[in-house]
Amino acid sequence: MRHDHPELDVTELREEVHGQELAIGLTEQPDWNGRFSCDFCGATLWPHTPLQMDAIRNHDMDTLDRLFGPLEGWWIDSVRCPDCVVDRIHPPTDGWEEALVLCSTTERNGVLSVDTTDLSVLDYSPGPAGHYPPVIPLDTVSQMGLSFSRWSFLYRYLPLIEATVPDIGERQPLYQYCRDRLNEIERETTA
């Protein structure tokens, strides 16, 4: 795990991510009780404890800029429970700057937000590094979220889908494409 990232401006990352909303209206939910969920498996997470998060910044994903408007600055793309944590960004996606960070959350007046007071960068992938982005229809990305345009998200997410829907590859050609491409990337990485 790399801890020194001279090409990453950690101060800028910390300032842009601090205070970003993760959830709103939580006190209005009867079962809230200070909980929110992992973006990968749905497990309950608790605020005020350090959590692993994926921070991303658009490097040159112009198509997504046209779909979502200007994607400027760093933002938290996903939050991981202890069972879904990783030790590196794998595989990285060309076009996204990706930072695997450890930081806390805070809740005030029903708004859960990121607290970067003690942010640690666990791994970093610069924008032009990594594998060509997944070829995902833009309507799917707009419905499912920007996470689906990143290999490191799909690498962890797809096995969870396979576990709950065993024949997903037969029913969903897009899923099978992602699975096949991730297998190719894995072979390239280990060769």
Copy the structure tokens of residue 79: 């939050």
2 in a structural domain: no
Q: Which residue would you say has higher pLDDT here, 142 or 105?
A: 105
Q: Give the tens place of pLDDT for each residue, 20-41.
A: 998 766 555 545 555 688 999 8
For residues 36 and 23, the answer to whether their CB atoms sit within 8 Å is: yes
In a domain, 31, yes or no: yes
Cβ-proximal residues to 150 (8 Å cutoff; 6+ apart), any chain: 54, 56, 77, 93, 96, 98, 133, 134
Binned at pLDDT 50, 70 and 90, residue 151 comes out as: very high
Helix axis angle, 151-164 to 173-190, nearest 10°? 120
Q: Give me the domain span that covers residue 180.
A: 10-190
Q: What are 54-103's pLDDT values in tens digits?
A: 999 989 887 777 777 777 899 999 999 999 999 999 999 999 999 999 99
Instruction: Identify the pLDDT of residue 3.
Output: 54
Residues 161-170: tens digit of each pLDDT: 888 887 877 7
Q: Say if 3 falls within a structural domain.
A: no
141 within some domain: yes
pLDDT score of 1 more than 50: no
Of 90, 108, 80, which is closest to residue 152 (Cα–Cα)? Answer: 90
Strands (E), 25-178: 36-37, 44-45, 51-58, 75-80, 96-108, 111-125
Distances (CA, A) of 163 to 73, 83, 114, 160: 35, 15, 30, 5
- Asked whether residue 1 is domain-assigned, the answer is no
pLDDT number for residue 34? 52
In a domain, 111, yes or no: yes
Q: Domain total for the chain?
A: 1
